[in-house]
Amino acid sequence: MKKILVATEKPFAKAAIDQIRPIVEAAGYEFALLEKYTETAQLLDAVKDANALIVRSDLVTREVLEAAPELKIVVRAGAGYDNLDLAACTEKGVVAMNTPGQNANAVGELVLGMMVFMARNGYNGTAGTELRGKKLGIHAYGNVGHYVAEIAKGFGMELYAFDPFVAKEKIEAAGLKAVDSVEELYSTCDYVSLHIPATEQTKKSINYDLLNKMPKGGTLVNTARKEVIHEEELVKLMADRPDFTYISDIAPDCKADIEAKFESRFFFTPKKMGAQTAEANVNAGVAAAKQIIGFFENGDETFKVNK
């Protein structure tokens, strides 16, 4: 009997496991669960007889793949797959997939939620500002960008997007203005919400020059990856621009520095929680389980992300 292992350092909601387990078992597979592990050794031990693996942001390194000789498929239950060593997956004949879109609404809601929280000074009782009429720039119009835009419309925000991989017509059909360059997006918008993946091209790409183009009172919202920010330049920018605010679902490596220097101009969630809803966990976890079953039963490789 093939074994499907769910290995999540940050566990899914119980509601998700309660749906994933019966889907796996009804299809004739063994279900195994490793949650809240604290040592890589626990993951290495758990994968040793797994035929399929479902993870979240858990690192699937060459070492993990080498400890899993029976592994045929790994599914990142989520969007960003920068935690998977794709080259090692390919070398070992392991198919790697993600579950695009399944947790996107949850991230979108967090973006607007954090924006309101900061615009109202952390609900400290003082006069804040409103989102209505402000310009929101969506940096990469994928699944999350789409939900951010739809929710922001309800707030009466003016919407802009930059995405060289999405046709301008598609962006404009959704009621956003598609701008021609990343520089134009940042110089136009009061808020910019980041939705780019962490790749060799994008890492450290959000730098001083780009952020400095933002209008007075500019706010950057990062629910993407901390690696895309040039952190040293962000700290310099925040020092030079006392009007600038940084909101992030991923505490930066320079968190202590920012906390020490820029009181009340930042907000960081204690743990990445954009996708931390029962609904997103159910959607992504169930999709991952079904993709694995489809792969084993029918050779379905939709959503494969390695070559």
What are the structure tokens assigned to 247, written together? 């909101």
d(Cα 32, Cα 154) in Å, to the nearest integer?
A: 42
Minimum Å distance from CB 246 to ligand 3PG?
18
Q: Residue 14: which of 277, 275, 293, 291 has the closest Cα?
A: 277
The residue assigned the tokens 């505490």 is 251
Q: Are 7 and 13 in contact (CB under 8 A)?
A: no
Minimum Å distance from CB 236 to ligand 3PG?
27
20 lies in the site for ligand 3PG, by CB under 6 A: no
101 lies in the site for ligand 3PG, by CB under 6 A: no
Of 68 and 75, which CB lies nearer to ligand 3PG in the complex structure?
A: 75
d(Cα 212, Cα 240) in Å, to the nearest integer?
A: 9
229 lies in the site for ligand 3PG, by CB under 6 A: no
Minimum Å distance from CB 271 to ligand 3PG?
9
Q: Are 159 and 152 in contact (CB under 8 A)?
A: yes
Minimum Å distance from CB 278 to ligand 3PG?
13
Minimum Å distance from CB 35 to ligand 3PG?
13
Site for ligand 3PG in 48-77 (CB under 6 A): 56-57
Of 10 and 135, which CB lies nearer to ligand 3PG in the complex structure?
A: 10
Per this entry, what is the length of the chain? Answer: 307
Contact pick of 5, 67, 80, 192 for ligand 3PG (by CB under 6 A): 80
Q: Which range touches ligand 3PG (CB under 6 A), out of 130-138, 211-219, 230-238, 268-276?
A: 268-276
What are the structure tokens assigned to 57, written together? 């942001």
218 lies in the site for ligand 3PG, by CB under 6 A: no
Contact pick of 10, 153, 290, 304 for ligand 3PG (by CB under 6 A): 10
275 lies in the site for ligand 3PG, by CB under 6 A: yes
Provide the pairing of β-strand 191-194 with 219-222.
parallel
d(Cα 304, Cα 156) in Å, to the nearest integer?
A: 38
Q: Which range touches ligand 3PG (CB under 6 A), out of 159-167, 203-211, 259-267, 272-280?
A: 272-280
Of 103 and 291, which CB lies nearer to ligand 3PG in the complex structure?
A: 103
Greatest Cα pair distance, the chain, in angstroms, is: 61
Rounded to 10 deg, the angle between the 278-298 and 14-26 helix axes is 20
274 lies in the site for ligand 3PG, by CB under 6 A: yes
Q: What are phi and psi of 191, to 5 degrees?
A: -120, 140
120 Cβ contact partners less than 8 Å away, ≥ 6 residues apart: 128, 129
The residue assigned the tokens 């790697």 is 96
Would you call 292 exposed, middle or buried from its count of C-beta atoms within 10 A (0-12, 13-18, 19+)? Answer: buried
241 lies in the site for ligand 3PG, by CB under 6 A: no
Minimum Å distance from CB 104 to ligand 3PG?
8
Contact pick of 46, 68, 78, 288 for ligand 3PG (by CB under 6 A): 78
- # of chain residues touching ligand 3PG (CB under 6 A): 10
Q: What are phi and psi of 178, to 5 degrees?
A: -90, 115
Contact residues: ligand 3PG, CB under 6 A? 10, 56-57, 78-80, 103, 272, 274-275
